[in-house]
A and B are shown apart, each in its own frame.
Chain A
Amino acid sequence: MTATPEAAVAPGSARPGEPLVELHGVQKWYGDLHVLQDIELTVGRGEVVVVIGPSGSGKSTLCRTINRLETVDQGDIKVDGKPLPQEGKALAAHRADVGMVFQSFNLFAHKTILENVTLGPIKVRRTPKAQAEARAQELLDRVGVGQQAAKYPAQLSGGQQQRVAIARALAMEPKVMLFDEPTSALDPEMIKEVLDVMVDLAERGMTMIVVTHEMGFARTAANRVVFMADGRIVEESDPETFFTQPESDRARDFLGKILKH
């Protein structure tokens, strides 16, 4: 495990490197299927953790448990030292602090791009409308879709929609960002524009947990790679070690399959 590089620490983040997201003894079953087994994972402030593994290995489920879009059957999950609330207002408040980017973008289809980004700040954070709009425009400019603010999601390309989704999550000023296969639904030429935004975010010191198949992103932006298979964390190490000297047979086998091409 690598220490968090100095450069990745956000300005103003109070306790760099301290645990921000902690999972202890997490278990989850879908019927007889044990989808998460004895998960132990700690993500420090400002750290970028990439979760990879074959499909069905539980990596998306793991990502979704952190803002309780999936419940767990056993174990504790803490964000910023506080256990996840079960439900109600406390859970909503927790989710406001955890940004989430989905594989299928999930932009609100009936709202404009700008409204997509301002909805959370206005309705959840009670930010005045004008201020929320100014901030949203700033974020949209930053991810390169400022020109599209008045359009509806269906009028944008997949890559543009996903960048809006990132801006929507950032507008809540989250403590941590979860990415659930953010580029898996995109055409190859659009993957880069989304990854560029994510690399920029990592460089600005955002704490990120990224489920992805993009090995290039893992190599350039990750502090740590977590390899999952069959619901377990099989291996975790820094990207260089993971890609050049994987410890487990399972990881070697997986890398052999995907890096051959």
Chain B
Amino acid sequence: MLDNLDEFFKGFGYTLFLFLVCAVASMALGILLVAMRVGPIAVLRSLATVYVSVVRNTPLVLIFIFFHFAAPIIGINFKWVQVHVGSFDFTSAFATAFVALSLYTACFVCEGLRSGVNAVPMGQAEAARAIGLPFGGVMTQVVLPQAIRASVPPVASALIAMLKNTSVAAIFFLAEATAAMRGLTNDYSSQRIGIFLCFAIGYIVLVEIVSMISLSLERRWRVA
């Protein structure tokens, strides 16, 4: 294992990078979805509700399969993605994983944020409307700042689940941590248990970091 640390780190490099870009994208899409779901426009509300129901109720592997095998048939493919940074190659495998994971995780982020919005008492929005703020102002000035605080734990859970879900990309040709582990266990089958443990610890450390960030945000944003 120690002889192959570079593969270990490279695998987790992909995992970490995939996690970071998906976190940003799923947060952005999740905020958009929750704004549609709690907003006053009925069409957008139903659209977001249908999106969340369909995508959240579909297994993640099916979404990966869709973007790998079905989407190219209808003209959606990511072959044009060819970014190389140092020894890392970001190609269609990475882009597919990014799209599938972000679209999937955004549903959970949306629902986490929605639980936060529901935790803000009705009176807060009423008072905001009563001083003449339009819908956008009510949301950005009063409801969302409080909702985001209340939704730190559920959104952190969604992101932690997503961090571990990056391992699904291993099946779809991305050389992230789980793929690196499979490669090593094949090459050094006598040391399987040690290799498993090392990679498990790798995931645990990453998840712990995310939980710690979540905890400190929870403390810092506590409503007085």
Chain A residues in contact with chain B, CB under 8 A? Answer: 67, 69, 87-89, 92-100, 102, 104, 106-110, 119-120, 123-124, 152-155, 165, 168-169, 172
Contact = CB atoms under 8 A, between A and B. Distances in A.
A88 B132 CA distance: 10
Contacts of B224: 109-110, 152-155
21 contacts: A67-B130, A69-B126, A69-B129, A69-B130, A92-B129, A92-B132, A92-B137, A94-B132, A96-B131, A97-B132, A102-B127, A107-B127, A108-B127, A108-B128, A108-B142, A119-B131, A123-B141, A124-B133, A152-B224, A155-B224, A169-B130
Contact of A92 (B124, B134, B141, B149): B134
Contact of A119 (B129, B134, B141): B141
A100 B145 contact: no
B145 A120 contact: no
Interface in B172-198: none
A102 B142 contact: no
Interface string B105-132: 0000000000000000101101111111
B102 interface: no
B67 to A, nearest CB: 39
Contacts of A88: 134
Contacts of A172: 131-132
Contacts, number: 77
B137 A124 contact: yes
B15 interface: no
B124 A95 contact: no
Nearest to A117: B131
Given A110-B223, A119-B141, A123-B141, A96 B132 contact: yes
CB-CB nearest 4 A-B residue pairs = A96-B132, A152-B224, A120-B131, A106-B127
Describe B's contact surface by its main secondary structure: helix
Contacts of B134: 88-89, 92
Given A110-B146, A152-B224, A154-B223, A124 B132 contact: yes
B44 to A, nearest CB: 15
A120 B133 contact: yes
A102 B126 contact: yes
A94 B130 CA distance: 9
A108 B133 contact: no
Contact of A108 (B40, B124, B149): B124
Contacts of A153: 224
A179 to B, nearest CB: 12
Given A108-B124, A110-B145, A120 B132 contact: yes
A123 B127 contact: no
Contacts of B131: 95-96, 119-120, 124, 168-169, 172
Interface in B152-168: none
